[in-house]
Chains A and B, each alone.
Chain A
Amino acid sequence: MSFLSVKFIILIAVLLILLHFIRNKTAERVILLAASYLFYACFDLTMLVVLICLSVFTWICGYMINKVQKNKNTKTARVICLSCIAVQTCILMFFKFAGLFPMPVGLSFYMLQAISFLADNYRGNLSEFPSLLDSLVYIGFFPQIVSGPIVKAKDFIPQLNMRKKLDTERLSYGIQLFMLGAFMKLVMADRLAVSVDSVYSAPLAYSGLSLFFASIGYSLQLLFDFAGYSNMAIGVAWLLGYDLGKNFNLPYLASDPSDFWRRWHISLSTWLREYVYIPLGGSRKGKIRTYINIFLTMLVSGLWHGSTLNFLIWGALHGLWQVLHRALKNMRTSSSANETGTVRKCISVILSFLMVNFLWIPFRAASLSDTLIIISRIITLQPGISYFYVYTFIFGTVLLIVQLIAVHRNNGNDPFKPLPLNKMYGKVLFCCFLIAIAMFAYFGNGAFIYAKF
């Protein structure tokens, strides 16, 4: 069941009506869980078993940790926690790398939530140990199960007890966020995919300049696809009364690698920081160790994204870039004062974008040899088919305008504000936006890129 299907709209409508009339908290959770499993079963009924087993296993592990901790046996709790996380990681690795079974939909995402459940429980970040029902709802919550955002247990589970009721304001915000996501996915990302897919499928045929242009097209496609999905997921969760946080904040406005990861896939970045980087020692154990930790964290990120060498290289290069940037920054701050003029900032943003864009090439290319072909053809400006997709220009310009507005009005942060639907112009713009989605949607490319990770 796709977010962009009539079935899904019906599911949400029925769910909202049921939740509106139900006052009992347990009944609310049962309905949410039933809806989540129904949603998941539409993808793959057999893999629902994996989801349920893993959720129950996680809860049992958490229960054991909690029990041991109550007896003040911290060491044993730590061993149990680490063992359980190791088992979860092995399950993820098994599906990801062994290739014996098809990867269950969203496993990479809900596994991280399961790990978060154990870690937060072990660290005492949860005020009380959640019930089995709560943990099942948390791990299987349908708006974000396929492609995130990855919500930490300490951020989500407390919300189950204080679900916000649906009012006009919440309805308006949720629907508009969902529509924005649908626009980004159907109109922008899927249209860009047409060009990107054709160029990346035969890189030897295209000129170096066309390949570079296609790489920009992919940078935009990936952003609109994933941020579009995230907006839809956050919008649906918002309608249901939950806050999943923000997952994107104009990432191509980043001025350095750290800034980029604060803006791109925020939920994964914060997850990695909290459950990988900090446990490794973070920046508390000296410069060299900090660099190693940064590099290892990015390597984990690469591995999480995929099992091919390309993803590992992508993660490693991101790690290297971060380390180099951190080292240069350390040198600069110790030698001279940091100048941050507008021109300098602009140059940093452009260079960062070019670097991110360059690093998306191994992320998208079918193989390592394709990656090398594309990069070498771009660098040597090889002749070939000249192809400059019009929609890359159009959507790139749209993004640029949004970014300029963000810089001008919102300190470089996402300037999205819901339309005032109590005013006539708000209603007109809302309807125009809805019609524009129907008019310009590109059909034929339904899958979300991040769903395959």
Chain B
Amino acid sequence: MQTFRRFIKQIFSWGIALAISLFIMNLVSFTFYDPCQELVRQQGSTTGFLLPGSHGVYGMEGYCIANIDENGYVNRDLPLADSYYIVAGASHTEGLFLPLRLRYSDILNSMLGSDNELRVYNIGRSGNFFSIVLQHLDGILGEFPDADGIIIETDTLTYDTKALYDSQTQTGYDPSETASSIYAGLTDRQRFSMQIKQYLPLMRELHKQILTYESISQEDSPSDILDPDFWAQEYAGGYSDALDSLMAFIRSKTDKQIIILYHPAVSIEDDGSMKLMSNGAEPYYREICAKYDIDFVDMSKPYMEAYRKNHTVPYGFFNTTMGAGHTNRAAHRMMAEELYKVISVKHD
């Protein structure tokens, strides 16, 4: 009886200790990894919103505290200017690795002479790659009909003929599908789950760790998306027609300024040089974009120039590795400068 009582007492005290330590480590998580909650949507300009009015902390790569505006996008809480540009893209555009004001959209906003209102509105969302953004073109034009232009960011041009045609399939636009309406439409259970996630970032951190552990245990077969043979075959086939068809499709949707911002991935080579990770599609994009009056901003040259002059690497942070991962503040500054050149030429 005595032993049993001691055993129960031990179990109880370990339970309390675990609860206290979970509470402490959860507090630690708030300063390190506390991502924003996502609201998924079917139609519109992106695949989803972030919870309006919330904040997120991202310290895995770079460090930032993200501010989610009333529409569910990562922006400063400033009014939208009468004349503005929309910036769409994936995680590089969303910029959850840099403090606000250091993202290319925010720098461009300042360059356009506006600090009290948003002349560049960022609707970047992680995972919304080039082809996905294009599928949401109707959504962007529907949600932001007054925009002066659209900037679409991409870090790769590795979209084959099929993907170029598929990008033209539109998801559509439903004006009633706003961040607040989606949130209002959540069931009590879904809201409770969101609340739990919001107050227990530790659980999300641990879940992410488990997924990472599982992913390294699985041996993926390496796929070379830059395989020159594959792309040579593509270019010899109907690639040009597919790209032409895509650009014609984009132009047919709007007569506003459209900018494709392409910033290739890089690798640091053994000999100390920096190499652009390209599949060689740039000339095709340059030529066909020009045909349809679409601005193609290629960061290849500025990136190489910056590396040659100052050894500036566009990707990586001091808490990750250089040359890999997401665009850093130097790259965002360069992208803003290049975009500013294109926009100011148009306005002049």
**Residue ranges of A at the interface with B (Cβ–Cβ < 8 Å):** 194-195, 198, 201-205, 207, 383-391, 424, 427-432, 434-436, 438-439, 441, 443-444
Contacts and interface: CB of A to CB of B under 8 A. Distances in A.
B318 A384 contact: no
A443 B212 contact: yes
Contact of B311 (A207, A388, A427, A439): A207
Q: Size class of B's contact patch?
A: 35 or more
For the complex of A and B, the 3 pairs showing the least CB-CB separation, nearest first, are A204-B272, A427-B17, A431-B21
B324 to A, nearest CB: 8
B24 A432 contact: yes
A195 B216 contact: no
A427 B15 CA distance: 10
Contacts of A429: 21
A430 B20 CA distance: 11
Contacts of A428: 17, 20-21, 24
Contacts of A424: 13, 16-17
22 contacts: A195-B321, A198-B321, A202-B271, A205-B272, A207-B311, A385-B268, A385-B313, A387-B316, A389-B319, A424-B17, A427-B14, A427-B17, A435-B22, A435-B25, A435-B206, A436-B25, A439-B25, A439-B29, A439-B205, A443-B209, A443-B213, A444-B216
A287 B281 CA distance: 71
Given A198-B322, A390-B318, 8 more contacts: A194-B320, A202-B268, A385-B313, A428-B21, A428-B24, A431-B17, A439-B206, A443-B212
A387 B270 CA distance: 16
Contacts of B17: 424, 427-428, 430-431
B209 A441 contact: yes
A383 B320 CA distance: 21
Interface in B226-280: 268-274
Contact of A387 (B18, B22, B318): B318
A204 B24 CA distance: 44
Nearest to A207: B311
B216 to A, nearest CB: 5
Contact of A435 (B21, B316, B321): B21
Contacts of A195: 321
Q: What is the predominant secondary structure among interface residues of chain A facing chain B?
A: helix
A388 B318 CA distance: 6
B202 interface: yes
A194 to B, nearest CB: 6
Nearest to B22: A435
A203 B269 CA distance: 9
Interface in B1-54: 13-14, 16-18, 20-22, 24-25, 28-29
Nearest to B273: A205
Contacts, number: 87
Interface of B: 13-14, 16-18, 20-22, 24-25, 28-29, 202, 205-206, 209, 212-213, 216, 268-274, 311, 313, 316, 318-324
A205 B269 contact: yes
A228 B270 CA distance: 31
B260 to A, nearest CB: 28
B206 A438 contact: yes
Nearest to B20: A428
A149 B272 CA distance: 39
B272 A202 contact: yes
Given A194-B321, A385-B322, A435-B21, A202 B311 contact: no
A387 B202 CA distance: 30
A384 B209 contact: no
A443 B213 CA distance: 6
A385 B315 CA distance: 12
A204 to B, nearest CB: 3
B271 A439 contact: no
A197 to B, nearest CB: 8
B311 A383 contact: yes
B257 to A, nearest CB: 35
B29 to A, nearest CB: 7
A288 to B, nearest CB: 44
A202 B318 contact: no
Contacts of A441: 209
Contacts of A204: 270-272
Nearest to A433: B21
A64 to B, nearest CB: 48
Nearest to B14: A427
Contacts of B274: 205
Contacts of B324: 198
Nearest to B215: A443
A435 B16 contact: no
Contacts of A203: 272
B209 A205 contact: no
B305 to A, nearest CB: 15
A217 to B, nearest CB: 12
Contact of B21 (A194, A202, A205, A432): A432
B268 A198 contact: yes
B315 to A, nearest CB: 11
B320 A432 contact: no
Q: Taking each of B16, B311, B316, which has the highest tally of chain A beta carbons within 10 Å of its own beta carbon?
A: B311
B157 to A, nearest CB: 25
A431 B270 contact: no
Nearest to B208: A439
Nearest to B206: A438
Contacts of A385: 268, 311, 313, 322-323
A391 B321 CA distance: 11
B213 to A, nearest CB: 5
A438 B25 CA distance: 11
A389 B318 contact: yes
A384 B270 CA distance: 13
A195 B212 CA distance: 19
A240 B76 CA distance: 59
B209 to A, nearest CB: 6
A186 to B, nearest CB: 10
A444 B323 CA distance: 19
Q: Taking each of A388, A436, A438, which has the highest tally of chain B beta carbons within 10 Å of its own beta carbon?
A: A438
Contacts of B25: 432, 435-436, 439
